[in-house]
Structure formats: C-alpha cells, structure tokens
Structure 1
Amino acid sequence: MIDFLRGQVAHLETEYVIIDVNGIGYRVYCPNPYVFAKSNEPVTVYTHHHVREDAILLYGFSSRQEQKLFRRLIDVNGIGPKVALGMLAGGKPEAVVIAIQQENLAFLTKLPGIGKKTAQRLVLDLKDKLDSIGLDLNITVQSLFLDTPTVVSDEEHPAWSEAREALKALGYRDNELDHAWHELQHRVYADESVDSLMKKALQQLFKA
C-alpha cells in the first residue's frame, strides 16, 4: 500500500495533482488539488491506495486527519471513493465530522452525492467513531454551518481577488472571470478560502 508521497508538484488539474517522486509522476485525485500549489518546495501527500478490478487509483490529502476521515467514510455502505472525495471537496473535514456527530442531515444532504438515506446511514455508522481521527473540533460551529451562503461582491470578498489573479495567470480573461463570479456568488461563503474559490470558479469555467 502507498501511504504517502513526497515530491514536487509537476501538474495540477481540477480533480487531481501529479507528484514527481524521483522522476516518476503519480496522479493523485484530491478534494482540492490547489492546496498543494502554494509552495515550490516538495510536498507531502497522504494517500489512499485503492485497487479495483479495472483500475488502481491514488486518492490524496493534505493531512493525516483528512486521510483517516476518508477511510472511515468509504467504510460506510454506499459510500465509494468518489462520493467520499466529493464530500471532502464540498465541506471542511471538521464540518463533516461535526455534522455526523450532531446528526445534521440538512448539512450532509447538501454535500455532493449524499441523499437523505445515505446521510442517515453515515450518522448511524459513524456518529461514535470519529473522535479518534484527530481533527481540531474546538472551533466555532456556526462558522462551519451556514445554512445559506452569503452573497458578496468581488470587492467585498477577501479571497476572490487573490483567486482571480491566480486564474488570470492560468490564462483566463477578465470577462470569463466576471461571468464565473456572477454564477458563483449565490454559493460562496464569507470565509471561503482562495483554494476553494479557485476550485469552484474552475468548475464553473469548464461549464461555459
């Protein structure tokens, strides 16, 4: 089993990162690949090595805690790697854990691929099994569970200007980014990170 990789980021896409380890490029599917683009130094990616009949895949995470949570999620009947990855892309790991522990079905059913029955199964199977993961849950719960995203302008959002400049560096034009932001505003949180905004914007840009 490949438990982690350490190497240089060779390439990034919206769904995966390619890590160069001693001249070998490993494609690793991640909740947010752009979290690994912050440094030119070698990065450590904690991985889950998934083998099935028709494919051998690597799923990667920026922390050991997120890796552990992913593995707990895929132990639940009906939750495959792609759905678990989508859950971690759609919500902070701390938010997912707290939602399960507090039986917050409203939050869980907003995550990609999670219906009411699956959310109930997550609570039933994992409610008392997540304390050992090691996430810092001593945080403001209200900051994680915002029932409705705050619609803000690009001038008002603290992270969008940085995300916009990064996207322009990738070759996107101002009119494309203006349109993407217009479509994103209704699902952006006030404390959204640059990485999260870039991922959402790229998903929107690919739809155009």
Structure 2
Amino acid sequence: MIARISGTLIAAEGGEIVVDVGGVGYELQVSLNTFFALPPLGAQVALLCHFVVREDAQLLYGFLDSAERALFRLLIKVNGVGPKMALAILSGMSVVELQRAVAGDDIARLTKLPGVGKKTAERLLIELRDKVDLSALGGAIDSAAATGSAADEAAAALAALGYRPADADKMIAKLNSAEMTTEELVKAALRNL
C-alpha cells in the first residue's frame, strides 16, 4: 500500500495532480480543498495517500493532512459512497464543516453537495454520527475549530450570502485572519473580489 508520496509537483489540473518521485510520475486525485492549497508547479510537495485497486484501475488519492484522509476513509465505508463521491464531498466542504453538519444533523447542508441526494445525506448522517467527532479525526480538527472561530463564522456568513462554501473558505484563507473579527473578515473578503 502507498501511504505517502513526496516529490516535485509537475502537473495540476482539475483535481488531478502528478508528483515526480525519482523520475516516476504518480497521478493522484485530490479534493479541491487540497488542490487549492498546493504549492506552485515545480515545488516540493508531500501528500498522504489512499490507494484503491479495482478490476479496471489502480487509483491514488492524495491529501495534505491526516484529518482529510481519515474522513475520506470513513466516507468510503458508507454504503453507496465510493471514492469519487467521497472526494466530491470533501471538495464541497472542509473537514470541520462536514463534522459540524453531521453533528448537527444538517441534511439541507449535505444535499447541497454535488451528487448527494436526500437519501444519501440521511445515510451519511446515520452511518457517520458516531464516527465523526473531534477525537476520531485527530488534532487537525481540534486546532482548526479552536483557532478558526472568526474565520469559520466569516465563511458561514459568505455562504449565507450565496457563495459556495468551498469558495467562501478560499476567500477567508487568503486573508491574514489571526487578529480580525468576523465582520472585518467578511468585509475584507468582499473587498478582495
């Protein structure tokens, strides 16, 4: 099993990347959250991996942090959710957002994700309810929830204004949000459009 890949990022397009490791290019599928957090082409990158072997393909999925990989592995265990849908779910919301949606039984939020209907959302809530918590996904969620409250609130406010949650997260991530209030973050994000 391939658990980690470290090398030079040589291609990145549409959620697919290629990492050169000693002259061999490994193609990985990544969520949009990971895709937009990658360094520029030609830079060194290290990704955690999940390797899937099917009858017709061998696929590598890449993640920048262990929390996203752990959640991906939980999602693909849900009946009716395969790796492609799990990646789409992780592209539509961050790990913290998904954890909050499951904890709050937020079916409406889950059905806004591409490919997730009401029945799939209900199945996700039922099967993940006891599995998705701060301790199960590791310290990455803990630290993000503790340090990102103003940023999380600002992203939620932008989503309420009609921006896609993933876009709202990116807008907030571009700002130096450490010492800004929620209101300041929202104003700054809207000014930067």
TM-score, normalization by structure 1: 0.70
Q: Is 1:92–2:94 an aligned residue pair?
A: yes
- Aligned pairs (5 A) from 1:76-91: 76-91=78-93
Task: Give 2:48's aligned residue.
Answer: 46
Contact 1:149/1:190 (<8 A) preserved:
no
Alpha-carbon distance in 2 for matches of 1:98, 1:130: 9
CA distance in 1, matches of 2:13, 2:166: 23
Identity of aligned residues (%): 36
> Structure 1 residues 18 and 194, CA, compared in 2 at 3 Å: closer, same or farther?
farther
Instruction: Note the C-alpha offset of 1:41.
Output: 3.9
Which residue of the other structure, out of 108, 129, 132, is the alignment partner of 2:131?
129
Where does structure 1 lack aligned partners over 5 or more consecutive residues? 152-185, 198-208
Distance 1:188 1:53, change over 3 A: closer
1:193 corresponds to 2:170: yes
Secondary structure at 1:133's aligned position in 2? coil
* Deviation of the 1:34 alpha carbon: 3.4
- Structure 1 residue 92: deviation in Å? 1.1
Provide the TM-score with structure 2 as the length reference. 0.75
* Contact 1:150–1:189 (8 Å) recurs in 2: no
Give the secondary structure class of the aligned counterpart of 1:25: strand
2:6 pairs with 1:6: yes
How far residue 38 of structure 1 moved from its aligned partner, in angstroms, is: 4.2
Structure 2: runs of 5+ lacking an equivalent: 175-193
Candidates 58, 61, 86, aligned match of 2:60? 58
**Which residue identity is paired with 1:2?**
I
Residue pair 1:73, 1:84 contacting (<8 A) in 2 also: yes
- Alpha-carbon distance between aligned partners in 2 of 1:56 and 1:79, rounded to the nearest angstrom: 18
**Amino acid corresponding to residue 2 of structure 2 in structure 1:** I
Mapped partners of 1:14, 1:34: distance in 2? 10
Change (3 A) 1:145 1:114: farther
3-state SS of paired residue (1:118) = helix
Aligned to 2:23: 23
One-letter code of the match for 2:170?
S
Q: Deviations over 1:30-76 (max 9, x none)?
A: 01223223475421111110111110000111111100000000000
Residues 90-141 of structure 1 show CA distances to partners (whole Å, capped at 9, x for unaligned) of 1111101110111111111111111111111111111111221122234536
Match of 1:150 in 2: 161
**Residues 144-168 of structure 1: CA deviation (Å, up to 9, x unaligned):** 54595536xxxxxxxxxxxxxxxxx
| Alignment match, 1:171 | none
Aligned partner letter, 1:133: L
**SS of equivalent residue, structure 1 residue 53:** coil
Count of residues in correspondence between the two structures: 163
- C-alpha distance in structure 1 between counterparts of 2:104 and 2:55, whole Å: 37
